[in-house]
């Protein structure tokens, strides 16, 4: 069975590659939604929407399609990707010295199966100086990431986390790999 990643995320591509998966990328045209759902439900709805869109578009009955979505949640508010550099700075300032959750939803669709789950990782940020925030934002790295940061970007943002590091990167690869292994049995 062919594995198809329904995402253009360079981080998800990298994680799948690092874990030895052979896969193809087909970007989804599904528009992410937040509606008035919890962060957990939001990422599940978006992951499933992306996976369904690609599964239907490829018309491949022997494919396994992986859809995923990640959001940052701070005090009940969902932080998606920043609109611009100023928005990224505001997000980082709001996360400074606080605990937040990173939620990633994963959907796996085949001709006969549909699995959807969400993974949560609690992240505690260091107290960030205005200089560090400005330096980080200047790199452009925060602009395509939920919550305006990447735990893997090499900046001293995170004090500690409780849960999957890869979930914060954008895909709880360990849980995905386990489910895929069981699916292929």
Domains of the chain: 2-183 (3.90.950.10)
pLDDT band at 60 (very low <50, low <70, confident <90, very high): low
Q: In this model, does residue 32 exceed pLDDT 80?
A: yes
Q: What's the whole-number mean pLDDT along residues 4-19?
A: 93
CA distances to 71, 91, 122, 161, 164 from 151, rounded to whole Å, are 13, 14, 12, 10, 11
pLDDT band at 68 (very low <50, low <70, confident <90, very high): very high
| DSSP E strand boundaries for the chain | 2-5, 23-25, 63-74, 77-79, 99-109, 114-125, 158-162
Per the annotation, the verdict on 69 as an active-site residue is yes
Residue with tokens 């939803």: 105
**Annotated catalytic residue, options 69, 84, 144, 156:** 69
pLDDT for residue 1: 82
pLDDT band at 100 (very low <50, low <70, confident <90, very high): very high
Residue from 132, 134, 1, 135 nearest 55 by CA = 1
Q: In this model, does residue 185 exceed pLDDT 80?
A: no
Q: In this model, does residue 33 exceed pLDDT 80?
A: no
pLDDT band at 181 (very low <50, low <70, confident <90, very high): confident
Distance CA 15, CA 33 (A): 24
pTM: 0.93
């Amino acid at each position: 069975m062919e594995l198809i990643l329904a995402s253009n995320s360079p981080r998800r591509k990298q994680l799948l590659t690092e874990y030895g998966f052979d896969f193809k990328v087909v970007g989804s045209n599904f528009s992410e939604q937040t509606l008035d759902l919890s962060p957990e439900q939001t990422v599940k709805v978006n992951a499933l929407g992306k996976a369904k869109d690609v599964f239907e578009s490829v018309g491949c009955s022997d494919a396994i399609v992986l859809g995923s979505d990640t959001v940052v949640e701070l005090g009940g508010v969902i932080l998606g990707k920043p609109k611009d550099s100023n928005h990224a700075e505001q997000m980082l300032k709001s996360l400074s010295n606080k605990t937040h959750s990173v939620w990633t939803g994963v959907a796996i669709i085949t001709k006969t199966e549909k699995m959807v789950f969400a993974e949560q990782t609690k992240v505690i940020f260091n107290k960030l100086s205005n200089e560090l925030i400005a330096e980080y934002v200047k790199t452009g790295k925060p602009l395509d990431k939920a919550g305006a940061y990447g735990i893997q970007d090499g900046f001293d943002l995170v004090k500690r986390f409780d849960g999957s590091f890869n979930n914060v990167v954008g895909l709880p690869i360990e849980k995905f790999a386990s489910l895929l292994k069981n699916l292929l049995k």
